[in-house]
Amino acid sequence: MLDIAFIRQNADVVRAAIKNKRVELDLDALLAADKTRRETVGKIEQRRARKNEIAQLIPKASKEERPALIEEGKAVKTELEQLEPSLAEAQKAFDDLMLRVPSIPRPEVPIGAGEDDNVEIRKVGSPRAFDFKAKDHVELMTLHGMVDWDGPRKYAGGRSYALMGTGALLELAVTRLAVDVLVERGLTMVVPPVMVKERAMTGTGFFPLGREEAYAITADELFLVGTSEVPLVSLHCDETLDASRLPIRYAGISNCFRREAGAYGKDTKGLYRVHQFTKVEQVIFCLPDEEVAEKEHYQLLANAEAILAKLEIPYRVAIACTGEIGLGQTRKHEVESWMPGRNDGKGAYNETHSCSTLGDFQARRSNIRLRAADGTLTYPYTLNNTAIASPRILIPLLENHQNADGSITLPKALVPYMNGVEVLKPRRS
């Protein structure tokens, strides 16, 4: 959420952000709502002042003056009774529109409509050249008995799955490796709630525009989160943090849930796009300083890359264009892992991680204040980054490390987490 004063003074900048982020918002309607709200507040304050003035005049008034004052007092009361509902209506219209205002992209963010306009920064590692016909993750996992594809869909619906045996152990191993990397790098682990109030979804910017992607528990007015970013940021909602506490660095591990409402019929095969997954997420609160935030951003990105390096997965890093960054993001890098089985076996880089800076967008919406050393109040900046998300990360892990006989050679860093097993062998028929 931007400051309304900033919006008034920089309307053209905000219009450009609306256009470039492809957000549906009529800025003129917002400015009109703001004007109506301020004018109504002014009228109410004026009438309340007159009401108080009349109340003080009546006891001192002469017998002749008192009736007129009493009548005026009644008239002022009636005006207020009419104005106050108008203010509530104007405030609601204003608030609803404010929640749709995007943050301003950083200057380095390329303008573009979709993922084809993202700009590659670097590639790390080289895609493997197989001297045999490589299998995709569906074939490999089926061969190893790592997943039950059909059973869960009978009772849980489409895009459901159950990791079995080695598949389940592999997910636990990968997530634990990621956790250990982050703890070694100074992040505080959190296992947060995955059911949250609407306030948390709105405060972190996932509502109102992403409402259709969330699973609702209507009886309790709760929602299942699609990332632990939501509860980690919301840990400090309505708090005033002392600047000396920053930066605060969290790593949350949780189950995550997404309806994938906008991806109907897309990536239905395998585990690339599913409704339930496990994710280790990084969240940072830092001082409201662009240089500080940039440093934290690239440290988060480095953490994710360190995990991929341990998993020995080739990847590339790209800066996302304006059409690909979310409502609150001012900068986002995507990390795309090489998946040999994608693109009909031709292979492709596909997103497995994203790293985002959000400025004070979430802090304003969540009412998280920051008290500076001089006592002044402002808002902290927040950032987030995917450390690991499974089962998607299992796709490049399995496909890149497969052998001709269908076995899978585990990266050395993962072996201790798999009880010393170095090679996963297919199950016997």
Active site residue 351: yes
Instruction: Kindly provide the residue ranges of all beta strands, DSSP E only, lying in 52-110, ordered along the sequence.
Output: none
Nearest to 410 by CA among 144, 35, 68: 144
CA gap 246, 239 in Å, rounded: 14
The torsion defined by the Cα of 418, 421, 423 and 425, in degrees rounded to 10, comes to -90
Single-letter amino acid, residue 8: R
Q: Which of 334, 365, 392, 399 is catalytic?
A: 392
Count of residues for the chain?
Answer: 429
- Of the residues 281, 296, 336, 351, only one is catalytic, namely 351
Tokens 């939501």: give the residue: 230
H-type alpha helices, 266-316: 290-311
What does the alpha-carbon distance between residue 319 and residue 108 come to, in Å, rounded to a whole number?
Answer: 9
159 is catalytic: no
What distance in Å separates the CA atoms of residue 98 and residue 407, rounded to the nearest whole number? 54
Considering the candidates 258, 331, 342, 364, report the single residue annotated as catalytic. 258
Query: Residues 106, 111, 114, 115: is their CA dihedral positive or negative?
Result: negative
CB 418 within 8 A of CB 397: no
Catalytic residue among 354, 356, 366, 390: 354
Longest CA span, the chain? 107
SS3 137: helix
Instruction: Give catalytic status of residue 259 as yes or no.
Output: no
Active site includes 273? yes
- The single residue of 176, 199, 211, 273 carrying the catalytic annotation is 273
Q: Would residue 354 show up in a list of annotated catalytic residues for this protein?
A: yes
The rounded distance, in Å, linking the Cα atoms of 134 and 140 is 9
Helix pair 11-20, 27-57: axis angle to 10 deg: 140
Nearest to 405 by CA among 147, 10, 131, 188: 131
Rounded-to-10 torsion of CA 180, 308, 286, 245:
10
- Phi first, then psi, for residue 379 (nearest 5°) are -125, 140
φ, ψ of residue 381 to 5 degrees: the values are: -95, 150
Which sequence positions are flagged as catalytic? Answer: 258, 273, 351, 354, 392
